[in-house]
A and B are shown apart, each in its own frame.
Chain A
């Protein structure tokens, strides 16, 4: 049995008379120690999916269907008290901007000890020692002094390390990282990603990495899930999907990477923008932006199908040339 299994998850936001479907029939699973990447443009529903796992959707958002099984229990039906024993304890989350996620008026020590004390019955001294050891684990120099610091006294990279240390405090089984490196500069990004990868491997922690940075995903994760307009359009082993993407959207994303272009030429982009949730096109939501779209695409919602764990939601898979030959033609 998988550690976390999400089945046919549906999330909707009722707004007055209309109801927006942010997530439509999304299913995925995560084994212990596995690293899954969720990629997609802004508004594809990545963050909403992550928040719904912890049942922390902001109002009026709600889970309208499906199951979220954590060790076999459907945690989407848990009440607040039961949920609190899972949040931060067995599933932690790391946010985008470490400047915002740390409370500006409390010291690192206060915040870490608070977090531990919310879940464990331990003394302040024990909590202090655990916190210091976790700060050491994320390679923060002189952790005892840093414990007394306020967030504004730390650099961006340092803050994100503190946030990661806080996520690891209670030795969770799963960490959900929502664009953990977006707010950092590029050199620090790599450091933090390597650190997270090492920590996940050494502690056997499952990681759900939400990002739009394909380079990061390809370095860190084992499996990848591409989302578009609330649906999964392609999923599979990271290496397989990156080298042999089948869905036109995944291809578009990969082609848009600067390293796929010859120097000096115009950068590739997927034309158009993500459709608004209240005006999704009929059929395949990607059809207005797709080079291969036909009449059929406007009628049928493609199913996620495929072989060897590499699934794609597109009805024209046979017609579309392989990714390598397409790149060669340019």
Chain B
């Protein structure tokens, strides 16, 4: 008797993994040094952000562990004032910069990831519907996307967040900030996905396997999500990496403008912003070090996305 798909044995999974490691994809990845280094950096940053509560020396959310006397201590390599307890120095409130950065990166990555997930769900659904059904539905959603794209994401976000803050007060806002940011960035950027998905659906829907699926008697929803969707995954994967980077940047920009994460729960953006006023008094590290991490993270994600785009597009094989 046959084994259903779900009961695939361990040995089979091992051979799958082995064949993946031997694949062209992995081979080309290994040959590209930029991609390997980028992936390494992204992995290290993501892991340290995820494991922040375990590896960071202090808990920046724990007010008891913070001593205002420790404020504005420069990084350890400053021979005069460096304190070996604080590897990267402290911020104006006396929080350890390293811990705060790790926790901040956690929030930035979380917002980036979930905002992209929201964009993806909205965009992919709308893109599939537009592309597959066509006609009036297509025209409606695509014009909506055009209108949405004619506003910049930041403008929409600033207006929405400012109105929310004014209407419900800063206290409620600081509690809900993370959800609001995810929501706003997520909704503002769906047209990117919708357009990409729609374009690939238009190319896919005239292929015979779609006819075959219709001939089998499948419902349009099943054809869209089970048959066409998997075929549009590679462009989705590529824009997802870029979009995560974009979402993190948007969040940082909003936080820098004071509309993002509150100071007691800082993301990379609000850290940069909080240090900005001290930069002329010589406490450069409060702004520069988080900025460095932000740039490093965004750059590696983008380089990885670039590589992925080349790798998934067989027309662009270089060698």
- Given A96-B208, A103-B227, 13 other A-B residues pairs in contact with their CB atoms under 8 A: A84-B217, A85-B217, A86-B217, A87-B217, A89-B217, A92-B216, A93-B215, A100-B208, A103-B213, A119-B217, A129-B2, A144-B2, A163-B212
Q: In the bound complex, how far is the Cα of B231 from the Cα of A106, in angstroms?
A: 9
Is B14 located at the chain interface by the 8 A CB criterion?
no
Q: In the bound complex, how far is the Cα of B44 from the Cα of A109, in angstroms?
A: 38
Q: In the bound complex, how far is the Cα of B8 from the Cα of A110, in angstroms?
A: 14
The interface residues of chain A lying within 8 Å CB-to-CB of B212 are: 93, 95, 101-102, 163
The interface residues of chain B lying within 8 Å CB-to-CB of A198 are: none
Contact A114 B222 (CB under 8 A): yes
User: Which A141-175 residues have C-beta < 8 A from chain B?
Assistant: 144, 147-148, 163, 166
What 1/0 flags go to A72-95 for Cβ under 8 Å of B?
000000000001111111001101
The interface residues of chain A lying within 8 Å CB-to-CB of B209 are: 100-104
Is B219 located at the chain interface by the 8 A CB criterion?
yes
Is B295 located at the chain interface by the 8 A CB criterion?
no
Identify B215's interface contact among A92, A103, A104, A132, CB under 8 A: A92
Is A139 located at the chain interface by the 8 A CB criterion?
no
The interface residues of chain B lying within 8 Å CB-to-CB of A87 are: 214-217
Task: Say yes or no: A129-B1 contact (C-beta < 8 A), given A56-B215, A88-B216.
Answer: yes
Is B5 located at the chain interface by the 8 A CB criterion?
yes
List 21 A–B pairs whose Cβ atoms lie within 8 Å, in order of A's numbering.
A54-B215, A87-B214, A87-B216, A88-B216, A88-B217, A89-B217, A92-B216, A96-B208, A100-B208, A101-B211, A102-B212, A103-B209, A106-B227, A114-B216, A114-B222, A115-B216, A115-B218, A118-B218, A124-B5, A128-B2, A129-B1
Q: In the bound complex, how far is the Cα of B3 from the Cα of A125, in angstroms?
A: 8
The interface residues of chain A lying within 8 Å CB-to-CB of B213 are: 103
Identify A132's interface contact among B2, B214, B227, CB under 8 A: B2
Q: In the bound complex, how far is the Cα of B317 from the Cα of A290, in angstroms?
A: 54
Is B282 located at the chain interface by the 8 A CB criterion?
no
Is B136 located at the chain interface by the 8 A CB criterion?
no
Is B4 located at the chain interface by the 8 A CB criterion?
yes
**3 smallest beta-carbon distances between A and B, as pairs:** A88-B216, A87-B217, A100-B208
Interface residues of A (CB under 8 A from B): 54, 56, 83-89, 92-93, 95-97, 100-106, 109-110, 113-115, 118-119, 124-125, 128-129, 132, 144, 147-148, 163, 166
Is B6 located at the chain interface by the 8 A CB criterion?
yes
The interface residues of chain B lying within 8 Å CB-to-CB of A103 are: 209, 213, 227, 230-231
What 1/0 flags go to B207-238 for Cβ under 8 Å of A?
11101111111110010001100110100000
Task: Say yes or no: A104-B231 contact (C-beta < 8 A), given A124-B5, A147-B2.
Answer: yes
Contact B214 A128 (CB under 8 A): no
Identify A114's interface contact among B2, B3, B211, B218, CB under 8 A: B218
Q: In the bound complex, how far is the Cα of B218 from the Cα of A325, in angstroms?
A: 53
Contact A84 B219 (CB under 8 A): yes
How many A-B pairs have beta carbons closer than 8 Å: the answer is 82
The interface residues of chain B lying within 8 Å CB-to-CB of A148 are: 5
The interface residues of chain A lying within 8 Å CB-to-CB of B233 are: 105
Q: How large is the interface on B (under 10, 10 to 19, 20 to 34, 35 or more residues)?
A: 20 to 34
Q: In the bound complex, how far is the Cα of B236 from the Cα of A105, in angstroms?
A: 15
Identify A95's interface contact among B2, B4, B5, B208, CB under 8 A: B208
Q: In the bound complex, how far is the Cα of B16 from the Cα of A119, in angstroms?
A: 31
Q: Whole-angstrom distance from the CB of B275 to the nearest CB of chain A?
A: 48
Q: In the bound complex, how far is the Cα of B219 from the Cα of A85, in angstroms?
A: 10
The interface residues of chain B lying within 8 Å CB-to-CB of A105 are: 230-231, 233
Q: In the bound complex, how far is the Cα of B209 from the Cα of A100, in angstroms?
A: 6
Q: In the bound complex, how far is the Cα of B3 from the Cα of A88, in angstroms?
A: 25
The interface residues of chain B lying within 8 Å CB-to-CB of A56 are: 211, 214-215
The interface residues of chain A lying within 8 Å CB-to-CB of B208 are: 95-97, 100-101
Q: Whole-angstrom distance from the CB of A104 to the nearest CB of chain B?
A: 7
The interface residues of chain A lying within 8 Å CB-to-CB of B207 are: 100
Contact A106 B230 (CB under 8 A): yes
Q: In the bound complex, how far is the Cα of B208 from the Cα of A205, in angstroms?
A: 24
Contact A118 B2 (CB under 8 A): no
Identify B219's interface contact among A118, A129, A144, A166, CB under 8 A: A118
Q: In the bound complex, how far is the Cα of B1 from the Cα of A129, in angstroms?
A: 7
The interface residues of chain B lying within 8 Å CB-to-CB of A129 are: 1-2
Q: In the bound complex, how far is the Cα of B215 from the Cα of A95, in angstroms?
A: 10
Q: In the bound complex, how far is the Cα of B219 from the Cα of A86, in angstroms?
A: 12
Residue with the greatest number of chain A CB neighbours at <10 A, chosen from B5, B216, B227: B216
Residue with the greatest number of chain B CB neighbours at <10 A, chosen from A93, A105, A110, A166: A105
Q: In the bound complex, how far is the Cα of B222 from the Cα of A300, in angstroms?
A: 50
Q: Whole-angstrom distance from the CB of A124 to the nearest CB of chain B?
A: 5
Q: In the bound complex, how far is the Cα of B217 from the Cα of A89, in angstroms?
A: 7
Q: Whole-angstrom distance from the CB of B139 to the nearest CB of chain A?
A: 15
Residue with the greatest number of chain A CB neighbours at <10 A, chosen from B4, B214, B222: B4
Q: In the bound complex, how far is the Cα of B216 from the Cα of A103, in angstroms?
A: 13
Q: Whole-angstrom distance from the CB of B134 to the nearest CB of chain A?
A: 9
